[in-house]
Structure 1
Amino acid sequence: MTGEYFLLVCDDIPHDVVLTDPGVQVLDVAQVVRRLTGLSLWRSKVLATRVPATILDGIPEEAAEAAVTALRAAGAQAEAREQPEPDFLR
């Protein structure tokens, strides 16, 4: 084998959930971050206030969109971003 790697078309591209603005109700957003990540409330609040913050990384697209929806429902601005292609595939 020549050491080449291939990304299959059926592979789900991993996504990151990025919090871009916690909004005015930071504690509500921190509670959503806590539910999504399993962190303590204090650490979730710290993470929510240091934007832009990657809340989740390397998750499937459906899970990322669900997390973004939950964060937006709490008053935050968030987005799901595709992870860049690994260097060894270029």
Structure 2
Amino acid sequence: MGVASVVLVCEDVPHDVVLTDPGFRLRDVTHVVRRATGLSLWRSKVLATDAPVLILVGVPQEVAVATVTTLRAAGASAEVRERPEPDFLKSSG
């Protein structure tokens, strides 16, 4: 039997949350990273200190914006990045 592939078209493009700089309030930022990712406190601190780093990958825009807002309120620099379209979906034009 042949292999079939399906492409799902979504209205909401997935987004990534990038922590660019944890700032001076590392403890507060670590707690925000922990709540957002579900990682342990130790792993969240390691992740926060390794900035710039991806915190969340492929989340809806609302979640990404809320997370970035919370990170900024904790003293960090963070941004939302729209995920690029996969190569197999690009038109060969």
Q: Under a length normalisation based on structure 2, what TM-score does the superposition of the two structures give?
A: 0.86
Match of 2:54 in 1: 54
Match of 1:78 in 2: 78
Give the Å deviation of 1:6. 6.2
Identity between Structure 1 and Structure 2 (%): 67
SS in 1 for 2:68: helix
Give the Å deviation of 1:87. 1.1
Match of 1:36 in 2: 36
SS in 2 for 1:33: helix
**2: CA distance between counterparts of 1:38 and 1:88?**
32
Q: Is the 8 A contact 1:5 1:88 kept in 2?
A: no
**2: CA distance between counterparts of 1:4 and 1:35?**
36
Q: Deviations along 1:21-73, whole A, 9 cap, x unmatched?
A: 00001111000000001100100000001011100010000110000000001
Larger radius of gyration: 2
Match of 1:14 in 2: 14
Give the Å deviation of 1:5. 7.1
Q: Under a length normalisation based on structure 1, what TM-score does the superposition of the two structures give?
A: 0.89
**2: CA distance between counterparts of 1:71 and 1:63?**
12
SS in 2 for 1:56: strand
Give the Å deviation of 1:7. 6.6
